Amino acid sequence: MWNSPKVGILGGGQLGRMLVESANRLNIQANVLDVENSPAKQISAHDGHVTGSFKERESVRKLAESCDVITAEIEHVDTYALEEVASKVRVEPSWQAIRTIQNKFNQKEHLRKYGIPMADHRELQNNTPEELAQIGEQLGYPMMLKSKTMAYDGRGNFRVNSKADIPEALEALKDRPLYAEKWAYFKMELAVMVIKTKDDVLSYPTVETVQEDSICKTVYAPARNVPDAINQKAQALARKAVSAFEGKGAFGVEMFLLEDNSLMLCELASRIHNSGHWTMEGCALSQFDSHIRAILDLPIPPKSLELLQPSIMLNIIGGATPDSHLKATEAALSIPNATIHLYSKGAAKPGRKMGHVTVTAATMHEAETMIQPLIDVVDEMRA
Ligand code: ATP
Ligand code: MG
Ligand code: MG
Protein backbone atom coordinates (compact mmCIF):
# COMPACT_ATOMS: atom_id res chain seq x y z
CA MET A 1 0.00 0.00 0.00
CA TRP A 2 1.33 3.42 -1.01
CA ASN A 3 1.93 5.56 2.06
CA SER A 4 3.39 8.79 0.67
CA PRO A 5 6.77 8.67 2.37
CA LYS A 6 8.71 11.91 2.81
CA VAL A 7 12.33 11.97 1.69
CA GLY A 8 14.82 14.50 3.09
CA ILE A 9 17.69 15.52 0.82
CA LEU A 10 20.87 17.12 2.12
CA GLY A 11 21.82 19.51 -0.65
CA GLY A 12 19.72 21.23 -3.29
CA GLY A 13 22.10 21.52 -6.24
CA GLN A 14 21.59 19.89 -9.62
CA LEU A 15 21.75 16.34 -8.26
CA GLY A 16 19.10 17.17 -5.66
CA ARG A 17 17.04 18.84 -8.36
CA MET A 18 17.07 15.72 -10.54
CA LEU A 19 16.21 13.57 -7.50
CA VAL A 20 13.24 15.84 -6.88
CA GLU A 21 12.14 15.35 -10.50
CA SER A 22 12.04 11.60 -9.88
CA ALA A 23 10.30 11.93 -6.52
CA ASN A 24 7.70 14.28 -8.01
CA ARG A 25 6.69 11.71 -10.61
CA LEU A 26 5.86 9.26 -7.80
CA ASN A 27 4.04 11.86 -5.66
CA ILE A 28 6.80 11.54 -3.10
CA GLN A 29 7.47 14.72 -1.17
CA ALA A 30 11.16 15.63 -1.13
CA ASN A 31 12.19 18.06 1.61
CA VAL A 32 15.40 19.80 0.62
CA LEU A 33 17.96 21.21 3.03
CA ASP A 34 19.92 24.04 1.44
CA VAL A 35 19.82 27.79 0.91
CA GLU A 36 16.56 29.31 -0.24
CA ASN A 37 15.71 29.00 -3.91
CA SER A 38 18.42 26.39 -4.52
CA PRO A 39 17.96 24.50 -7.84
CA ALA A 40 16.13 21.56 -6.21
CA LYS A 41 13.70 23.79 -4.31
CA GLN A 42 12.75 25.74 -7.40
CA ILE A 43 10.88 22.79 -8.88
CA SER A 44 9.15 21.70 -5.69
CA ALA A 45 6.56 23.98 -4.08
CA HIS A 46 5.65 22.86 -0.56
CA ASP A 47 6.44 24.02 2.95
CA GLY A 48 8.67 21.09 3.93
CA HIS A 49 12.00 22.50 2.77
CA VAL A 50 14.57 23.60 5.32
CA THR A 51 16.71 26.72 4.90
CA GLY A 52 20.22 26.10 6.12
CA SER A 53 23.29 24.04 5.40
CA PHE A 54 24.01 20.32 5.25
CA LYS A 55 27.10 21.18 7.26
CA GLU A 56 25.07 22.46 10.24
CA ARG A 57 23.82 20.13 12.92
CA GLU A 58 20.75 22.20 13.74
CA SER A 59 19.57 22.21 10.11
CA VAL A 60 20.00 18.45 9.78
CA ARG A 61 18.01 17.95 13.01
CA LYS A 62 15.24 20.11 11.64
CA LEU A 63 15.12 18.21 8.36
CA ALA A 64 15.02 14.89 10.21
CA GLU A 65 11.88 15.92 12.10
CA SER A 66 9.77 15.99 8.95
CA CYS A 67 11.10 12.98 7.01
CA ASP A 68 10.81 9.19 6.89
CA VAL A 69 14.23 8.78 5.32
CA ILE A 70 17.18 11.12 4.77
CA THR A 71 19.67 10.98 1.92
CA ALA A 72 22.36 13.26 0.48
CA GLU A 73 23.21 14.61 -2.96
CA ILE A 74 26.76 15.36 -1.80
CA GLU A 75 29.21 13.51 0.45
CA HIS A 76 30.62 16.63 2.12
CA VAL A 77 27.92 16.73 4.80
CA ASP A 78 28.01 16.76 8.60
CA THR A 79 28.05 13.02 9.30
CA TYR A 80 28.02 13.64 13.05
CA ALA A 81 24.63 15.29 12.61
CA LEU A 82 23.53 12.28 10.55
CA GLU A 83 24.82 9.92 13.23
CA GLU A 84 22.75 11.75 15.80
CA VAL A 85 19.48 11.74 13.83
CA ALA A 86 19.95 8.12 12.71
CA SER A 87 18.29 7.00 15.95
CA LYS A 88 15.07 8.71 14.87
CA VAL A 89 15.02 8.57 11.09
CA ARG A 90 16.49 6.23 8.48
CA VAL A 91 19.67 7.57 6.86
CA GLU A 92 20.54 6.11 3.43
CA PRO A 93 23.22 5.33 2.67
CA SER A 94 24.51 4.96 6.24
CA TRP A 95 26.33 7.84 7.92
CA GLN A 96 29.25 5.44 8.39
CA ALA A 97 29.49 4.94 4.63
CA ILE A 98 29.32 8.68 3.94
CA ARG A 99 31.90 9.43 6.66
CA THR A 100 34.41 6.95 5.28
CA ILE A 101 33.82 7.88 1.65
CA GLN A 102 34.00 11.67 2.15
CA ASN A 103 37.66 11.27 3.10
CA LYS A 104 39.25 9.86 -0.04
CA PHE A 105 42.23 8.46 1.86
CA ASN A 106 40.05 6.69 4.44
CA GLN A 107 37.86 5.45 1.60
CA LYS A 108 40.89 3.83 -0.01
CA GLU A 109 42.19 2.38 3.24
CA HIS A 110 38.77 0.82 3.75
CA LEU A 111 38.54 -0.54 0.21
CA ARG A 112 42.04 -2.01 0.43
CA LYS A 113 40.74 -4.46 3.05
CA TYR A 114 38.30 -5.74 0.46
CA GLY A 115 40.98 -6.33 -2.15
CA ILE A 116 39.92 -3.52 -4.48
CA PRO A 117 42.79 -2.63 -6.86
CA MET A 118 43.90 1.01 -6.60
CA ALA A 119 46.90 3.17 -7.42
CA ASP A 120 49.58 2.93 -4.75
CA HIS A 121 49.35 5.91 -2.41
CA ARG A 122 50.93 7.46 0.68
CA GLU A 123 49.55 9.68 3.38
CA LEU A 124 51.28 12.96 4.25
CA GLN A 125 51.64 13.69 7.95
CA ASN A 126 53.19 17.17 7.97
CA ASN A 127 52.78 18.47 4.40
CA THR A 128 56.47 19.37 4.20
CA PRO A 129 58.56 19.44 0.99
CA GLU A 130 60.96 16.88 2.51
CA GLU A 131 58.14 14.49 3.25
CA LEU A 132 56.64 14.80 -0.23
CA ALA A 133 60.06 14.42 -1.84
CA GLN A 134 60.51 11.17 0.05
CA ILE A 135 57.10 9.97 -1.16
CA GLY A 136 58.11 11.04 -4.68
CA GLU A 137 61.11 8.68 -4.41
CA GLN A 138 58.76 5.85 -3.53
CA LEU A 139 55.94 6.50 -6.01
CA GLY A 140 57.94 8.02 -8.85
CA TYR A 141 56.98 10.97 -11.06
CA PRO A 142 54.56 12.13 -12.16
CA MET A 143 52.41 11.56 -9.10
CA MET A 144 49.07 13.10 -8.11
CA LEU A 145 48.95 15.06 -4.88
CA LYS A 146 45.39 14.95 -3.56
CA SER A 147 43.35 16.51 -0.82
CA LYS A 148 41.76 13.81 1.33
CA THR A 149 38.64 15.90 1.86
CA MET A 150 36.33 18.36 0.12
CA ALA A 151 37.57 17.31 -3.31
CA TYR A 152 35.43 17.66 -6.42
CA ASP A 153 35.95 18.35 -10.11
CA GLY A 154 39.69 17.94 -9.61
CA ARG A 155 39.79 20.88 -7.16
CA GLY A 156 41.95 19.16 -4.64
CA ASN A 157 44.31 17.46 -7.13
CA PHE A 158 47.73 18.67 -8.22
CA ARG A 159 49.91 16.83 -10.71
CA VAL A 160 53.51 16.76 -9.50
CA ASN A 161 55.70 16.18 -12.53
CA SER A 162 59.04 16.27 -10.77
CA LYS A 163 60.69 17.19 -7.51
CA ALA A 164 60.82 20.79 -8.74
CA ASP A 165 57.00 21.02 -8.62
CA ILE A 166 56.79 20.17 -4.93
CA PRO A 167 56.73 23.71 -3.48
CA GLU A 168 54.01 24.81 -5.93
CA ALA A 169 51.94 21.69 -5.26
CA LEU A 170 52.07 22.14 -1.49
CA GLU A 171 51.23 25.83 -1.87
CA ALA A 172 48.21 25.01 -4.07
CA LEU A 173 46.82 22.53 -1.54
CA LYS A 174 48.07 24.13 1.66
CA ASP A 175 46.12 23.69 4.90
CA ARG A 176 44.40 20.60 3.51
CA PRO A 177 44.91 17.00 4.64
CA LEU A 178 46.87 15.36 1.83
CA TYR A 179 47.91 12.08 0.29
CA ALA A 180 49.85 11.33 -2.86
CA GLU A 181 48.98 8.78 -5.50
CA LYS A 182 51.13 6.95 -8.02
CA TRP A 183 50.34 8.04 -11.57
CA ALA A 184 47.85 5.77 -13.31
CA TYR A 185 48.71 5.37 -17.00
CA PHE A 186 45.17 4.65 -18.11
CA LYS A 187 43.98 4.26 -21.68
CA MET A 188 40.44 5.12 -20.70
CA GLU A 189 38.38 6.14 -17.69
CA LEU A 190 35.33 4.03 -16.96
CA ALA A 191 32.46 4.48 -14.54
CA VAL A 192 29.63 2.35 -13.21
CA MET A 193 26.54 3.43 -11.30
CA VAL A 194 25.72 0.92 -8.58
CA ILE A 195 22.34 0.71 -6.86
CA LYS A 196 22.34 -0.88 -3.43
CA THR A 197 18.91 -2.06 -2.32
CA LYS A 198 17.78 -3.81 0.84
CA ASP A 199 18.80 -7.19 -0.52
CA ASP A 200 20.65 -6.64 -3.77
CA VAL A 201 23.54 -4.81 -5.40
CA LEU A 202 22.64 -3.84 -8.96
CA SER A 203 24.64 -2.02 -11.61
CA TYR A 204 24.09 -0.03 -14.77
CA PRO A 205 26.27 -0.75 -17.82
CA THR A 206 29.86 0.46 -17.83
CA VAL A 207 30.38 3.88 -19.38
CA GLU A 208 33.40 5.79 -20.63
CA THR A 209 34.06 9.17 -19.06
CA VAL A 210 36.24 11.86 -20.56
CA GLN A 211 37.73 14.41 -18.18
CA GLU A 212 39.15 17.73 -19.31
CA ASP A 213 41.12 19.69 -16.71
CA SER A 214 39.93 17.02 -14.24
CA ILE A 215 36.25 17.92 -14.87
CA CYS A 216 33.95 15.42 -16.50
CA LYS A 217 33.27 16.61 -20.05
CA THR A 218 31.51 13.73 -21.80
CA VAL A 219 30.16 10.30 -20.92
CA TYR A 220 29.68 7.56 -23.52
CA ALA A 221 27.23 4.77 -22.75
CA PRO A 222 28.25 2.11 -23.45
CA ALA A 223 32.02 2.66 -23.24
CA ARG A 224 33.34 2.79 -26.80
CA ASN A 225 35.25 -0.19 -28.17
CA VAL A 226 35.29 -1.90 -24.80
CA PRO A 227 34.63 -5.64 -25.07
CA ASP A 228 31.74 -7.03 -23.09
CA ALA A 229 34.13 -8.99 -20.86
CA ILE A 230 35.61 -5.70 -19.60
CA ASN A 231 32.17 -4.13 -19.27
CA GLN A 232 31.16 -7.07 -17.04
CA LYS A 233 34.43 -7.01 -15.12
CA ALA A 234 34.05 -3.29 -14.40
CA GLN A 235 30.49 -3.76 -13.20
CA ALA A 236 31.60 -6.61 -10.95
CA LEU A 237 34.44 -4.53 -9.49
CA ALA A 238 32.09 -1.59 -8.90
CA ARG A 239 29.54 -3.80 -7.13
CA LYS A 240 32.28 -5.37 -5.01
CA ALA A 241 33.59 -1.94 -3.97
CA VAL A 242 30.14 -0.63 -3.09
CA SER A 243 29.35 -3.81 -1.17
CA ALA A 244 32.08 -2.75 1.27
CA PHE A 245 29.74 -0.04 2.57
CA GLU A 246 26.49 -0.09 4.54
CA GLY A 247 23.30 1.45 3.31
CA LYS A 248 21.03 1.80 0.34
CA GLY A 249 20.99 4.01 -2.71
CA ALA A 250 23.08 5.01 -5.72
CA PHE A 251 26.89 5.00 -5.67
CA GLY A 252 29.08 6.31 -8.49
CA VAL A 253 32.25 4.31 -9.08
CA GLU A 254 35.10 5.74 -11.17
CA MET A 255 37.78 3.45 -12.58
CA PHE A 256 40.89 3.47 -14.73
CA LEU A 257 41.26 0.98 -17.58
CA LEU A 258 44.99 0.35 -17.92
CA GLU A 259 46.98 -0.63 -21.00
CA ASP A 260 46.92 -4.31 -20.04
CA ASN A 261 43.10 -4.16 -19.70
CA SER A 262 43.25 -4.42 -15.93
CA LEU A 263 41.05 -2.14 -13.86
CA MET A 264 41.84 0.13 -10.94
CA LEU A 265 39.42 2.06 -8.79
CA CYS A 266 39.87 5.86 -9.02
CA GLU A 267 37.32 6.76 -6.35
CA LEU A 268 33.71 6.25 -5.46
CA ALA A 269 30.90 8.55 -4.36
CA SER A 270 28.08 7.69 -1.98
CA ARG A 271 25.49 9.34 -4.19
CA ILE A 272 23.99 9.88 -7.59
CA HIS A 273 26.76 10.97 -9.92
CA ASN A 274 27.53 12.99 -13.04
CA SER A 275 28.67 9.82 -14.83
CA GLY A 276 25.11 8.48 -14.45
CA HIS A 277 23.14 11.37 -15.97
CA TRP A 278 22.85 9.51 -19.27
CA THR A 279 20.51 7.01 -17.56
CA MET A 280 17.74 9.63 -17.70
CA GLU A 281 17.36 9.03 -21.42
CA GLY A 282 19.36 5.84 -21.83
CA CYS A 283 17.46 3.52 -19.47
CA ALA A 284 13.90 2.89 -18.33
CA LEU A 285 14.83 3.91 -14.77
CA SER A 286 17.31 6.74 -14.29
CA GLN A 287 19.88 6.72 -11.49
CA PHE A 288 17.63 9.22 -9.71
CA ASP A 289 14.55 7.00 -10.06
CA SER A 290 16.56 4.03 -8.80
CA HIS A 291 18.00 5.96 -5.86
CA ILE A 292 14.55 7.03 -4.67
CA ARG A 293 13.25 3.48 -5.03
CA ALA A 294 16.27 1.93 -3.32
CA ILE A 295 16.06 4.13 -0.22
CA LEU A 296 12.31 3.49 0.07
CA ASP A 297 12.51 -0.27 -0.52
CA LEU A 298 10.41 -0.02 -3.70
CA PRO A 299 10.94 -2.60 -6.45
CA ILE A 300 13.67 -2.04 -9.06
CA PRO A 301 13.34 -4.52 -11.94
CA PRO A 302 16.99 -5.16 -12.96
CA LYS A 303 15.95 -5.01 -16.60
CA SER A 304 15.06 -1.34 -16.11
CA LEU A 305 18.78 -0.61 -15.62
CA GLU A 306 19.77 -1.98 -19.01
CA LEU A 307 20.83 0.32 -21.82
CA LEU A 308 17.94 1.08 -24.17
CA GLN A 309 20.07 2.82 -26.78
CA PRO A 310 23.55 4.28 -27.05
CA SER A 311 23.77 7.66 -25.30
CA ILE A 312 26.30 10.47 -25.05
CA MET A 313 26.15 13.02 -22.27
CA LEU A 314 27.91 16.38 -22.52
CA ASN A 315 28.26 18.72 -19.57
CA ILE A 316 27.49 22.38 -20.11
CA ILE A 317 30.17 24.09 -18.06
CA GLY A 318 30.71 27.78 -17.39
CA GLY A 319 33.23 29.03 -19.95
CA ALA A 320 35.31 32.02 -20.91
CA THR A 321 32.41 34.50 -20.80
CA PRO A 322 29.38 34.69 -18.47
CA ASP A 323 27.05 33.65 -21.31
CA SER A 324 29.12 30.77 -22.75
CA HIS A 325 26.71 28.22 -21.34
CA LEU A 326 23.74 30.00 -22.92
CA LYS A 327 25.40 29.85 -26.31
CA ALA A 328 26.04 26.15 -25.81
CA THR A 329 22.40 25.62 -24.82
CA GLU A 330 21.23 27.52 -27.87
CA ALA A 331 23.33 25.27 -30.07
CA ALA A 332 21.93 22.18 -28.32
CA LEU A 333 18.39 23.18 -29.27
CA SER A 334 19.15 22.28 -32.89
CA ILE A 335 20.82 18.92 -32.20
CA PRO A 336 18.61 15.97 -33.12
CA ASN A 337 17.65 13.59 -30.28
CA ALA A 338 19.18 15.94 -27.71
CA THR A 339 17.56 16.30 -24.31
CA ILE A 340 18.66 19.45 -22.49
CA HIS A 341 18.81 19.68 -18.70
CA LEU A 342 19.57 23.12 -17.26
CA TYR A 343 20.17 23.44 -13.53
CA SER A 344 18.98 27.01 -12.94
CA LYS A 345 22.04 27.90 -10.89
CA GLY A 346 22.07 31.55 -11.86
CA ALA A 347 25.37 33.09 -12.87
CA ALA A 348 27.97 30.94 -14.56
CA LYS A 349 31.56 30.82 -13.41
CA PRO A 350 34.35 29.18 -15.34
CA GLY A 351 34.27 25.47 -14.53
CA ARG A 352 30.81 25.55 -12.93
CA LYS A 353 28.42 22.84 -14.10
CA MET A 354 25.39 24.68 -15.50
CA GLY A 355 23.55 21.87 -17.25
CA HIS A 356 23.98 18.84 -19.47
CA VAL A 357 22.76 17.47 -22.77
CA THR A 358 22.19 13.83 -23.66
CA VAL A 359 21.94 12.58 -27.24
CA THR A 360 20.63 9.09 -27.92
CA ALA A 361 20.68 7.18 -31.21
CA ALA A 362 20.39 3.69 -32.65
CA THR A 363 24.18 3.41 -32.85
CA MET A 364 27.06 5.08 -31.01
CA HIS A 365 28.42 6.30 -34.34
CA GLU A 366 25.16 8.07 -35.10
CA ALA A 367 25.06 9.65 -31.64
CA GLU A 368 28.68 10.82 -32.06
CA THR A 369 27.85 12.38 -35.42
CA MET A 370 24.83 14.19 -34.02
CA ILE A 371 26.56 15.61 -30.95
CA GLN A 372 29.80 16.66 -32.68
CA PRO A 373 28.60 20.17 -33.68
CA LEU A 374 27.75 20.82 -30.03
CA ILE A 375 31.13 19.56 -28.83
CA ASP A 376 32.72 21.98 -31.33
CA VAL A 377 30.72 24.88 -29.85
CA VAL A 378 31.65 23.91 -26.30
CA ASP A 379 35.34 23.55 -27.21
CA GLU A 380 35.34 27.06 -28.63
CA MET A 381 33.93 28.52 -25.43
CA ARG A 382 36.28 26.89 -22.95
CA ALA A 383 37.55 29.11 -20.23
P1 ATP B 1 35.21 14.21 -8.83
O2 ATP B 1 34.67 15.49 -9.39
O3 ATP B 1 35.02 13.04 -9.76
O4 ATP B 1 34.80 13.94 -7.42
P5 ATP B 1 37.85 14.56 -7.69
O6 ATP B 1 38.16 16.00 -7.53
O7 ATP B 1 37.43 13.80 -6.47
O8 ATP B 1 36.82 14.38 -8.86
P9 ATP B 1 39.53 12.42 -8.78
O10 ATP B 1 38.35 11.70 -9.27
O11 ATP B 1 40.38 11.77 -7.76
O12 ATP B 1 39.16 13.91 -8.28
O13 ATP B 1 40.47 12.82 -10.01
C14 ATP B 1 39.98 13.61 -11.08
C15 ATP B 1 40.63 13.15 -12.37
O16 ATP B 1 42.05 13.30 -12.27
C17 ATP B 1 40.41 11.68 -12.68
O18 ATP B 1 39.16 11.47 -13.30
C19 ATP B 1 41.60 11.41 -13.59
O20 ATP B 1 41.36 11.93 -14.89
C21 ATP B 1 42.70 12.23 -12.95
N22 ATP B 1 43.44 11.40 -11.97
C23 ATP B 1 43.12 11.20 -10.67
N24 ATP B 1 44.00 10.40 -10.06
C25 ATP B 1 44.92 10.06 -10.97
C26 ATP B 1 46.09 9.24 -10.97
N27 ATP B 1 46.50 8.59 -9.87
N28 ATP B 1 46.78 9.11 -12.13
C29 ATP B 1 46.39 9.76 -13.25
N30 ATP B 1 45.31 10.55 -13.32
C31 ATP B 1 44.57 10.71 -12.21
MG1 MG C 1 35.68 12.92 -6.06
MG1 MG D 1 36.49 11.69 -9.57
Mean pLDDT for 193-213 is 97
Tens-digit pLDDT profile for residues 41-92: 999 999 999 999 999 999 999 999 999 999 999 999 999 999 999 999 999 9
CA-wise closest residue to 52 among 68, 63, 42 = 63
pLDDT for 109? 97
pLDDT tens-place string over residues 325-377 = 999 999 999 999 999 999 999 889 999 999 999 999 999 999 999 999 999 99
Phi, psi of 201 (to 5 degrees): -125, 110
Handedness of CA 245, 89, 82, 191 (dihedral sign): positive
Q: Which ipTM score applies to this complex?
A: 0.98
Share of the chain above pLDDT 70, in %: 99
Residue whose CA lies nearest to ligand 1 atom number 27: 183
CB 151 within 8 A of CB 157: yes
Question: Could you tell me the pLDDT band of residue 2, with boundaries at 50, 70 and 90?
Answer: low
Strands of 141-300, DSSP E: 143-147, 157-160, 178-182, 186-196, 201-203, 207-212, 215-221, 249-258, 263-269
Evaluate: CB of 214 within 6 angstroms of ligand 1: yes
Region 284-291: mean pLDDT is: 98
Residue 357 backbone dihedrals phi, psi, to 5 degrees: -130, 135
Distance CA 255, CA 189 (A): 6
Is residue 214's pLDDT more than 90? no
The C-alpha atoms of residue 54 and residue 61 are separated, in whole angstroms, by: 10
> Is the minimum distance from the CB of 149 to ligand 1 under 6 angstroms?
no
> Which ligand lies nearest the alpha carbon of 101?
2
Confidence of residue 250 (pLDDT cuts 50, 70, 90): very high
Residue range 15-50, pLDDT digits in tens? 999 999 999 999 999 999 999 999 999 999 999 999
Residue 104 has a pLDDT of 97
pLDDT band at 1 (very low <50, low <70, confident <90, very high): low
Q: Mean pLDDT across the stretch 146-152?
A: 94
pLDDT exceeds cutoff 80 at 3: no
Q: Give the relative orientation of helices 104-112 and 95-102 as an angle to the nearest 10 degrees.
A: 110
Question: What distance in Å separates the CA atoms of residue 383 and residue 378, rounded to the nearest whole number?
Answer: 10
Please report, as a single letter, which amino acid is at residue 32.
V
Above pLDDT 90, what percent of the chain? Answer: 94
Query: Which ligand does the CA of 102 lie closest to?
Result: 2
Give Cα 179 to chain centroid, integer Å.
Answer: 21
pLDDT grade, residue 281 (50/70/90)? very high
Alpha-carbon gap, residue 71 to 48, rounded angstroms: 15
* pLDDT mean over 152-165: 94
Per-residue pLDDT reduced to its tens digit, 254-270: 999 999 999 999 999 99
Q: Model pTM?
A: 0.97
**Test site for ligand 1: of 73, 135, 144, most ligand atoms within 8 A of the Cβ:** 144
Residue 294 has pLDDT above 80, yes or no: yes
Query: Average pLDDT of the chain?
Result: 96
Q: Is 142 in the pocket of ligand 1 (CB under 6 A)?
A: no
